Structure 1
Amino acid sequence: MLRDITTKTLRDQGRTLVWWALSVVLLVAMYVAIWPSMRDQPALNDFLDQMPEAFRNLFATTGADMSTPIGYLQIELMSFMAPILVILYAVAAGSSAVAGEESRRTIDLLVTAPVSRRRIVLEKTLAMVVGTVGLAGLLGVALVVEGQFADMGLPPGRVAAAMLHLALLGLVFGAVALAVGCVTGQAGLSKAIPAGLAVVTYLVNGLGAMVSWLEPMQRLSPFYQYAAHDPLRNGVSWPGVVVALATVVVLVVLSVLGFERRDVRS
């Protein structure tokens, strides 16, 4: 089993993944159930228009129409709750990959197995990717399938594009957690740093259009790559995909180098 680290990692997370999947399905069901009562409330758009611009930018409400299914989901689900859900999972997976093993005193089982440290990191990364993409994919399937019960008529292609960007957003922060864990071996740091970074980059993206000194940094925010193109309405932004993938690859390389050069705590 130790020779297939990816399978073992996913198997160890089996019960946790089931709860994550159930939570996603129930969360989507809640938003779908609320939709019929929201589409007949045109005053909501007036309320959104009267909100300060900073709030509209932070919650991705600029140009969104609450009377349409896509606008409703963009505001209520995709701007905040869905990113939080996927980022939490990815960070937890990235943190537990190496730093978590050290904190549980199980790292010896990995480093003494007939596999290289590089392979350990890469297979742990693959497990994180499979889990994160699977969670985002399940969210998309739940939106399309459950949305039919409320006549939302969501276009599967646009939903798939939004889920691709959502999964990449989670993987960026998951890769940060992995890199910090591989370099330091500290489980607490590997969770705290990506969490703090997520908050900072979220604010930078939301306020970048309003604060002149933040504007140059806005395009560096993973949330900009996730939401600026509005994939739920416009499809995949391939430049955004490339930037997110490149970020993940760089962080994984740093993870490999950090873990190979560090003395592991037993």
Structure 2
Amino acid sequence: MLRDVLLKTLRDQRRSYAAWCLSVVLLVAMYVALWPSIRDQPSMQDFLDQMPQALRNLLATSGADMSTPVGYIQVEFLSFMGPILVILYAVLAGSGAVAGEEDRRTLDLLLATPVARSRIVVDKAVAMVLGALGLTTLLGVALLLEGTFVGLDLPAGKVAAAMLHLALLGLVFGALSLLVGAATGRLALSRGVPAFVAVVAYVVNGLGGLVSWLEPFQKLSPFFQYAGHDPLHAGVSWLGVTVAVATVAVLVVGGALAFERRDVAS
């Protein structure tokens, strides 16, 4: 039996991860293929401009110009579908770390190894981090390479910045999923809680600039740390990165402590 939980987790996930990677490449290809038919359609930008401000804030990055490659990717991919994809991956990885092992009745075998409970949680978290970073790296590479075939020219450095922020967005909710699963052992709860928090955080960020009583909470939203600094135009926001990394670290440590103290049913 493998004593290295990290290597075991990566080995166990290799097939499903390959499916995720293939899905990312195909999804990017679909959006890239649509670019030639959209770039010469001013009606698309007119439609975006005519949206109510509240709806525009929720569904598109403020100020995005659909007639440019950067604006197109912001609106069509990085405002909604990209975050959903990465958050879904991270939450599934986080929920499977402890709660998933309990649900599959394999946790006893894992705990029988001479590895501390906290180490199990940390190794599972590292596997989640590596997976999310690998997925967003592939996503960025796919955007750059596939985009060259249709004139969707994107700045490589800014794409890398956006992918870093996107990975951290997913990891915040993945770490929350891991924490809930480690604390409760309930798979449904470890998926439901992050999903609910993600919806609330998305709405708070989208409406924070329009609704006065939401404004103080906007900068607390992980979606603000992801897109509030517009990394596809401005590059990396190190403040946003620091906040996201600190949030993930706190949630993982909380999960490790909770798992150490919890009685695990046989």
Q: TM-score range by the shorter chain?
A: over 0.9
Q: Distance in 1 between matches of 2:56 and 2:98?
A: 39
Counterparts of 1:63 and 1:89, CA distance in 2: 29
Amino acid at match of 1:181: G
Equivalent AA in structure 2 for residue 81 of structure 1: M
Give the letter aligned to residue 53 of structure 2.
Answer: E
Equivalent-residue separation in structure 1 for 2:70 and 2:265 (angstroms): 49
Q: Distance in 2 between matches of 1:169 and 1:236?
A: 13
Question: Following TM superposition, by how much is the alpha carbon of 1:61 offset from its aligned partner in structure 2, in angstroms?
Answer: 3.5
What CA distance in whole angstroms lies between the structure 1 residues aligned with 2:34 and 2:250?
41
Amino acid at match of 1:242: T
| Aligned alpha-carbon RMSD (Å) | 0.8
Offset, 1:138: 0.5
**Within 5 Å, which residues of 2 pair with 1:68-147?**
68-147=68-147
Structural mapping, 1:218-237, within 5 Å: 218-237=218-237
Separation in 2, partners of 1:255, 1:183: 6
Query: Do the aligned partners of 1:173 and 1:194 also contact (CA within 8 Å) in 2?
Result: yes
Verify the 8 A CA contact 1:95 1:191 in the aligned structure 2: yes
1:13 is matched with which residue?
13
Q: Which runs of 5+ in 1 are unaligned?
A: none
CA distance in 2, matches of 1:248, 1:75: 27
Aligned: 1:159 with 2:159: yes
Matching residue's letter, 1:101: E
Q: Larger deviation: 5-14 or 250-259?
A: 5-14
Task: Single out whichever of 224-233 and 40-49 deviates more from structure 2.
Answer: 40-49
User: How far apart, CA to CA, are the structure 2 residues paired with 1:200 and 1:157?
Assistant: 31
Q: Distance in 2 between matches of 1:154 and 1:72?
A: 10
Give the Cα separation in 1 of the matches to 2:174 and 2:265. 22
Partner deviation per Cα, 1:127-156 (whole Å, 9 max, x = no partner): 100111111111000000101101112111
Cα deviation, residue 165, structure 1: 0.1
Q: Residue in 2 aligned with 1:55?
A: 55
Residues 234-253 of structure 1 show CA distances to partners (whole Å, capped at 9, x for unaligned) of: 10011000000010010011
String of CA shifts for 1:6-27, please: whole Å, max 9, x gaps.
1111111111111100110000
CA distance in 1, matches of 2:147, 2:262: 49
d(CA) in 2 for partners of 1:115, 1:240: 34
CA distance in 2, matches of 1:123, 1:247: 17
TM-score of the superposition, structure 2-length normalised?
Answer: 0.99
Q: What are the superposed Cα offsets for residues 60-107 of structure 1, whole Å, 9 maximum, x if unpaired?
A: 332111000000000000000000000000000000000100111100
* Amino acid across the alignment from 1:39: R
Q: Which runs of 4+ in 1 moved over 6 A?
A: none
Q: 1:181-260 counterparts in 2 under 5 A?
A: 181-260=181-260
CA contact (8 A) 1:2 1:110 kept: no
**C-alpha deviation, 1:43, in angstroms:** 2.1
Unaligned runs of 5+ in 2: none
May I ask how many residue pairs the two structures share in their alignment?
266
Give the AA of the match of 2:155: P
User: What amino acid is aligned across from residue 87 of structure 1 in structure 2?
Assistant: I
Q: What TM-score, normalized to structure 1?
A: 0.99
Structure 1 CA distance for aligned equivalents of residues 8 and 252 of structure 2: 20
Q: Quick one: distance in 1 between partners of 2:265 and 2:70? A: 49
